[in-house]
Chains A and B, each alone.
Chain A
Amino acid sequence: MTSRRRRALMAWLFMLPLLLVNGVVIAGPGLSSFYYSFTSWSGVGEAKWVGLDNYRRLLTDDDFLGALLNNLWWTLFFLTVPMAMGLLGAYLLSRTRRFGILFRIAYFIPYIVATVVSSAIWQNILSPDYGIGAQLSKLGIHWLDDVNFLGDGRLALPSVAFVNNWQWWGFLLVVFLAAMQGVDPHLYEAARLDGASPWNEFWHVTLPAIRPTLVFLMLMTVIWSFLVFDYVYILTRGGPAGATEVLGTLLYTAAFGEHEAGYGAAVGIVMALISFLVVCTYLVIRRVRRWDT
């Protein structure tokens, strides 16, 4: 065996344990889900092959289409609001000389709070019985008297997204800040010599310099947005009346509530497929527009 082949073999041997684990916990269940998505299966017992029936049913299922729209809204929200907050916060912090570390810790703390805990906190804050609206009312401020954040179908999804964002944006801030601190200071000096305003510095120097980080986080945001489950499930269970139903909660109900695991698998495959297509599209655009360079 040549030394080159030996090295390659050694590399594969090192990767083998991880590949085995991935095969067992990701590839195996993934492939079985793909198979079950073409079956009528209750979750136990025999699975009956039904071809594309589950996928045809998805196209006419109002609950699925509603959940898909909610996921798209969620994606749009998380591609804009927390991104903007994280970028702005990081940029301002990068120029802060004093107490910067304290701010960073303060913004990052929500990210390390367990989802269940932060959900419980916000459930209480948003409660119409004893939350912020009720407390303001006691002070004679009645702006929120008739506002029920999680009980009103129009407000429920934005409210859940707000709670998720409360936890999430601090993480983005810290990552963006780390990226910004890696930007060559000479670029800023040159920009200032050319008379660039702070906004121009941000737009023409900072953003291009942290583009790889930004692109990666946007990609992950798209993927995570289609996988969202925990905050929705804990805060509203997809209610009221389906107003916050997302694909994750729909899948869960189908598989474990309605005993339609085959249909649930089809929902899961569509979730993965959407993320895959979005990411591929983004990668193509990035290549065409030469964002990497």
Chain B
Amino acid sequence: MPTTSPRGLNRRRFLALGAGTAAAAALAGCTQGSATRRTAGAITFWAAFDRDTDRKYFEQHFVADYNADHDDKVSLTIKDDESLERLQQTAIASGQGPDIVLTSGPSYALEYINAGKLAPLDDYAKAGGWEEKLQTWAYDAGKVEGKLYSIPNSFETMVMFTNNEVMSKYDWTPPTTRQEFEDLCADAKGRGIMPVLAGSAEWKPATEWFVSVMFNHYSGPDAVYSALIGETPWTDPVFVDAITALNGYFQKGWFGGGVKEYFTNRFDTLNTRFAKGEIALDITGSWAFGDLRSFFDGKVGAGPDAWDWSPLPAFRDGVPKDLYALSVGGTYSVNADSKNQDGAADYLTWLLSDRKRLADAVAEVAFQPYPLNFSADDFPANTDERIKRLYVDMAASKAWGYVTWTCWPPKSDVYIYQEMDKVITGKLTPKDYCAGLDKVFKEELAAKKVPPIPKPAGA
């Protein structure tokens, strides 16, 4: 799913979004177009990128470097983010498509798995030592009925970014509880500052980010897990109250400045205002690292050292602090109709094989890495300490939650953001919203469309 940056883009795709530009002809093996033909010995792979710098970096370090040492060459086809998955779905349905299949997350991969379109990867995983390389929860997220079909292609979570200059100016500290959060928002609103950066003009599903936050940091990961495996209904008060609280924040104008503004707020404008000190908090995903680098350049606001991040507050007693709602931003699988499954799997093994190469990518272009077992030593000296801290903390986290775009089945996921928009516009009550979610989710649960759900830490 979306991707690297919330600039109207897919925050679930590792290398996502809309550039759609022609790959440099100089880079052997990179092509632009929609060809599905397979060249003998080629490993076809479709991807989309948010930024040109991301694309170039990937082509150089993840394609050209591989091709230099291997007989089977990776042939990367650049697609527009808007159409990548649609085109890929059509191609795969007709027995074509790329050798390596990229999806928006485990629930999307599940559709292909149920249709028999993805190859089981257990033998490749064993030979390549994938289980040892990946974090347990992420590896397990790719399993269906005991067989491995996908591996995560990015690693992200929801966090709270702050502008240090603003925090210092108003004597604020990053909130750690609901009370602190609400006090800060009220104070910011009173000063004419937007309390929380929020907008969905370019990315309609942005609303689900906040639902994910409230489900995890208000309802709690245990309650969410229980609901995801069908034991607790979504109509439970712990979920209704979470949605009620979120709706209340919107009605107070804390998120995005107001309900109407929320639907037309654009990320570039919001990020500029955040850097200028006109917004107090940015509750978003770790995919925003790249954007913060761009906007905190000192030209229109604070400089590169002025931003920082914190874990989200615990909105209710009993919810773990320092909780990360872990997300697989997307998945890689091998096309069951591929004529070169071995080559495709070898490439996946190679992608997972070098923590340093991934850590370098984090340092250079703020890539979201695969959920490997990173330690601080993996990262080069020039890595932004704030980014390194996140990935090391996440890898060591003892408490994790569940984001909607990773752990909910497709229809429930769409329901979550589409109908939440109706809640904040007064067309639907939180209670009815949760009842509707429960109905849709139960249908998908019965149809076995719920992706694998890792147990909460310590369970």
Q: With contacts A44-B111, A44-B112, A151-B260 known, is A239 near B200, CB below 8 A?
A: yes
A241 within 8 A of B: yes
Residue contact A148 to B424, C-beta cutoff 8 Å:
no
Q: With contacts A45-B114, A46-B115, A253-B414 known, is A237 near B422, CB below 8 A?
A: no
Query: 0/1 per residue, A234-273, Cβ < 8 Å to B?
Result: 0011111110000000000100111110000000000000
Query: 0/1 per residue, B80-124, Cβ < 8 Å to A?
Result: 000001100110110000000000000010011011110000000
Instruction: Give chain B's interface secondary structure class.
Output: helix
Residue contact B410 to A257, C-beta cutoff 8 Å:
yes
B51 within 8 A of A: no
Identify which of B93, B111, B264 contacts A150 (C-beta below 8 A).
B264
Residue contact A241 to B421, C-beta cutoff 8 Å:
yes
B261 within 8 A of A: yes
Identify which of A45, A129, A150, A242 contacts B421 (C-beta below 8 A).
A242
Chain A residue numbers with a CB within 8 Å of B85 are 256
Identify which of A42, A128, A130 contacts B111 (C-beta below 8 A).
A42
Chain A residue numbers with a CB within 8 Å of B414 are 253, 257-258
Chain B residue numbers with a CB within 8 Å of A151 are 259-264
For window 171-195 of chain A, which residues contact chain B by CB distance below 8 Å?
none
Chain B residue numbers with a CB within 8 Å of A150 are 201, 263-264
- The docked-state distance in angstroms from the alpha carbon of A232 to that of B411 is 21
B425 within 8 A of A: yes
Residue contact A44 to B117, C-beta cutoff 8 Å:
yes
Chain A residue numbers with a CB within 8 Å of B90 are 43
Residue contact B421 to A240, C-beta cutoff 8 Å:
yes
A153 within 8 A of B: yes
Chain B residue numbers with a CB within 8 Å of A258 are 410-411, 414
A201 within 8 A of B: no
- The docked-state distance in angstroms from the alpha carbon of A46 to that of B90 is 13
What's the minimum C-beta distance from A175 to chain B, rounded to whole angstroms? 32
User: How extensive is the interface on chain A, given as a class?
Assistant: 20 to 34
For window 397-422 of chain B, which residues contact chain A by CB distance below 8 Å?
410-411, 414, 418, 421-422
User: How extensive is the interface on chain B, given as a class?
Assistant: 20 to 34
Residue contact B89 to A256, C-beta cutoff 8 Å:
yes
Chain A residue numbers with a CB within 8 Å of B424 are 241
Residue contact A129 to B115, C-beta cutoff 8 Å:
no
A127 within 8 A of B: yes
- The docked-state distance in angstroms from the alpha carbon of A260 to that of B200 is 24
- The docked-state distance in angstroms from the alpha carbon of A44 to that of B116 is 9
What's the minimum C-beta distance from A135 to chain B, rounded to whole angstroms? 15
B168 within 8 A of A: no
For window 101-128 of chain A, which residues contact chain B by CB distance below 8 Å?
123, 127-128
- The docked-state distance in angstroms from the alpha carbon of A262 to that of B406 is 24
B204 within 8 A of A: yes
Residue contact B89 to A44, C-beta cutoff 8 Å:
yes
What's the minimum C-beta distance from B214 to chain A, rounded to whole angstroms? 18
Identify which of B111, B260, B411 contacts A43 (C-beta below 8 A).
B111
For window 220-244 of chain A, which residues contact chain B by CB distance below 8 Å?
236-242
Beyond known contacts A239-B421, A256-B89: 6 more, CB 8 A cutoff: A45-B116, A128-B264, A150-B201, A151-B261, A151-B262, A258-B410
Q: Enumerate chain A interface residues (CB-CB to B < 8 A).
A: 42-46, 123, 127-130, 148, 150-153, 236-242, 253, 256-260
